[in-house]
Amino acid sequence: MSGEIAFNPDDKYNAFLTTCRKAPHGTGKLAGVAVAVKDNISTLNIETTCASKILKGYIPPYDAHAVGLLKSEGAAIVGKTNMDEFGMGTTTENSGFGPTLNPCDTTRVPGGSSGGSAAAVAAGMVRMALGTDTGGSIRCPAAFCGIVGLKPSYGRVSRYGLIAYSNSLEQIGPMGKTVTDVSTLMGVIAGYDRHDTSSLNKPYNHTPKADIKGLRIGIPQEYFGKGVDSQVAAVVKKAIGRLEELGATTVPCSIPSMEYALAAYYVTCTCEASSNLARFDGVRYGPAADTKKSWHDAYQEVRSAAFGPEVRRRIMLGTFALSSGYYGKYYAKAQIARENIKADFNRIFADVDVIAGPTMPTIAFKLKEKSDPLSMYLADILTVPANLAGIPAISVPCGKSEGMPVGLQIMGRMFDDERVVDVAYAYEQAVN
Amino acid sequence: MVTEKDVQHIAELADVGVSSGELGTFTHQFNAIIEYFDILDRVEGKCPVTRDLFNILREDEIEPSLPQEEVLRNAPAKEDGFIKAPRVM
C-alpha cells in the first residue's frame, strides 16, 4: 500500500540538512522504508545544497536516477544528509552548515564525506541511506560510525543527478546497519541508465550468501604498515582470522604502487573539481551575482563568500596542477600512477578472490583534530586505491578500539560487488 | 615552491578570491601539499594511448523538456524569461 510516513527525528547529531516531515511512499521492495539521501544527490522539489552556501535554496527540477529508482520501489525519501561541502573532506566538518557528530561519541567526527548518512543510520533515525564515495566517502563514515557501506564498481550505479565533484572516481552507493540492507539497496539502485555515459548494463540481483569455504583473501602488507594504528590493525587481523575459521585462506601480497596512490588521487580529484565547480557562479542558481559588476569581479565575489576554504583550496590546487607547464608533472603522472595501481590489483586478483584490510588507519578523529589539510588527506590512504582502480569495496564493522568502531574493508575484482558483499555477510553472520 | 603572488594569481584564474588575511595560510598549505605531490616525479610507466573504448551513439530523439518557469525557478536574477548575468564586455 502506498501512503505517507511521518518523520520527526530528534536530530541531535546534525545528521540532516533537510527533513521531510511527511514523506510519501509507494509499493515495492522498499515499500514504506525510510531512506535518507546525501545532499549532493538531486531530489525533485527537495532542497539540495551539497552542504554548500553556494547552493542554499536550490530546488532540483528532477530526481537523480538512483532516487527515481528508490521511489519506484516504494521508498520514502525522508531527508537530505549533511556532508563535507561538495564531498571534499573526511570528517563532515567541512559542511557549510555545521559539523555532524558521531553517534558513538559526540566528541568525535562521524567521518566523511557521507557523515550525515552514516550518523542517521547509526543513530537509528533511518534504516538505510545513500552516500557517495569519491575516495572513501562511504566507507570511512561507515567504519567510524559502526555501520556497513559499499562503494560499487564504477559504472554500476548511475551518476545522473549526482552533483559532480570528481566524475572519474565517484559512485553513489548504499549504507545500512546490516549487509542484507546494503545488498537490498544496491539491488534497487544498480543498473543501466542512458543519461549517464559511464553507466554500464550490470544490474545487481543478489541475495547475500555466507559460504566462503575455499575463498582466497589477499592481505596487502601496505594495509598494516606505517601510519596504521596498531590497535586498529590488531582488531582487523582478528576479524580476518574469523574469515579463516570460516574456511578462507589468506595470502600475503603487496601493492607497491600504493606509495603514489594518495598523490595520484588528490591531483586527479582537484583537477576534476576545478572544472566541475566552475558552474557555480550565482547566475543560474545560488546567491545572486552582482550583474552590474564585470563578470570576473561578480563571480569572484560570490564564490569567495559562498565556498568554504577546503573547496576553494581544491579548486586552486586543480587550477594550478592543470596550468601551462605543470600538466605533465602532475596530471599526466597521476594518470600513469593510476594505471600502475590498476595493474597491481589485476596481478593480485589473478591469485586471490578478494583483498582485505582496515578501512581507515585509525578510529574516528576528535572534532577539530585534523585542522591541517594534508594530514586530513593522509587519512584516505587505505580507501583511495579502490576509487583509482574503479573496483568494488565494502566496509563492515569488525570490533572496537578504544571503545570506537573499526571497519573491515573487503575489495574485489571489477564488477565482483556480489562477492565482497558475500564476504562481509559471512563475517557479519559469524560474529552476530 | 609557490609564492603568495602565485596563489593570488591562481585564485584570480579560478575566480575564488583570496583575501589578504587568508593569503599566508593558503600559501603555506599549498606548498605542503604540492611538496607531497612531488612524489609523482618518481612514477614510472606509460599512460596507455589506446584502450578498448568505443563510441556509444544513440538516435537523437526529441523528448519533453522542462517548462521555462521550472528552468528559471532557481535563477536569482531574471528578466523577460531570461536569466540575467553580469556584463562580459
Mind giving me the DSSP string for A363-406?
SPPBTTS--SHHHHHHTTTTTHHHHHHT--EEEEEEEEETTEEE
B45 in contact with A, Cβ within 8 Å: yes
Q: Is residue B30 part of a domain?
A: yes
Grid cell, residue B4, equals 603568495
- pLDDT at position B48, please? 65
d(C-alpha A139, C-alpha A149), whole Å: 5
Q: Quick one: pLDDT at residue A302?
A: 96
* Residue B29 in grid coordinates: 598549505
Spatial separation of the C-alpha atoms in residues A2 and A201, rounded to whole Å: 29
Using a CB-CB cut-off of 8 Å, the residues of chain B touching A282 are 76
Round the average pLDDT of chain A to a whole number and report it. 97
Is A38 noted as a catalytic residue in this protein? yes
Assess if residue B71 is contained within a domain. no
CA-based nearest distance B76→chain A, Å: 5
Domain for residue B11, yes or no?
A: yes
Check pLDDT > 80 for residue B51.
Answer: no
% of chain A at pLDDT higher than 70? 100
Q: What is the mean pLDDT of residues A413-420?
A: 98
Domain span including residue B35: 4-42
Residue B46 has pLDDT above 90, yes or no: no
Average pLDDT over residues A111-127: 98
Average pLDDT over residues A384-402: 98
pLDDT at B52: 72
Answer yes or no: do A58 and B74 touch at CB < 8 A: yes
Residue that has been written with the C-alpha cell 570506537 in this structure = A404
What SS3 state is found at A194? coil
> In this predicted structure, what is the pLDDT of residue A361?
98
Q: Using the 8-state DSSP alphabet, how is residue A289 labeled?
A: P
pLDDT value for A141: 98
Is the backbone peptide bond immediately before A304 cis, with ω within 30 degrees of 0? no
Q: Which amino acid is at A327?
A: Y
A253-279 residue pLDDT tens:
999 999 999 999 999 999 999 999 999
Residue B9, domain member (yes or no): yes
What is the percent of chain B with per-residue pLDDT over 70, rounded to a whole number? 96
Joined together, the cell numbers standing for residue A300 give 569572484
A352 within 8 A of A217, measured Cβ to Cβ: yes
Whole-angstrom Cα distance, residue B28 to residue B7?
10
> What total of structural domains would you count in chain B?
1
ipTM of the complex: 0.93
Residue among B30, B40, B85 whose CB faces A260 most closely: B40
> What nine digits make up the cell of A333?
603522472
In chain A, what is the straight-line distance between the N-terminal and C-terminal CA atoms, in Å? Answer: 33
How would DSSP label each residue in A328-349?
A: IIIIIHHHHHHHHHHHHHHHHH
Residue B12 reports pLDDT greater than 90? yes
| CA dist., res. A238 & res. A240, Å (int) | 5
For A193, the grid coordinates are 541508465
Is A137 designated active site?
yes
Q: Report residue A147 as a C-alpha cell.
A: 555501520
Whether residue B89 lies inside any domain: the answer is no
Residue where the block lists cell 559471512: A426
Residue A36 has pLDDT above 70, yes or no: yes
Q: Choose, from A42, A95, A113, A395, the residue flagged as catalytic.
A: A113
CA angle A219, A166, A260 (to 5 degrees): 40
Phi, psi of B4 (to 5 degrees): -60, -35
In chain A, where the domains are located: 7-432
CATH class of the domain comprising A7-432: alpha beta
Instruction: Give the tens place of pLDDT for each residue, A183-230.
Output: 999 999 999 999 999 999 999 999 999 999 999 999 999 999 999 999
Cα(A92)–Cα(A113) distance, integer angstroms = 5
Contact: B70, A336; criterion CB under 8 Å: no
Nearest CA in chain A to B11: A316
Other CB atoms within 10 Å distance of the CB of residue A391: 26
Chain B residue numbers touching A333 (CB-CB < 8 A):
40-41, 43
CB spacing of B33 vs A317 below 8 angstroms? yes
Cβ contacts of residue A9 below 8 Å, gap of 6+? A16, A19, A120, A125
Domain membership flag for residue B82? no
According to the model, what pLDDT value does residue B58 have? Answer: 80
Please provide residue A81's backbone torsions phi and psi, each rounded to the nearest 5 degrees.
Answer: -100, 155
Number of Cβ pairs < 8 A linking chain A and chain B:
157
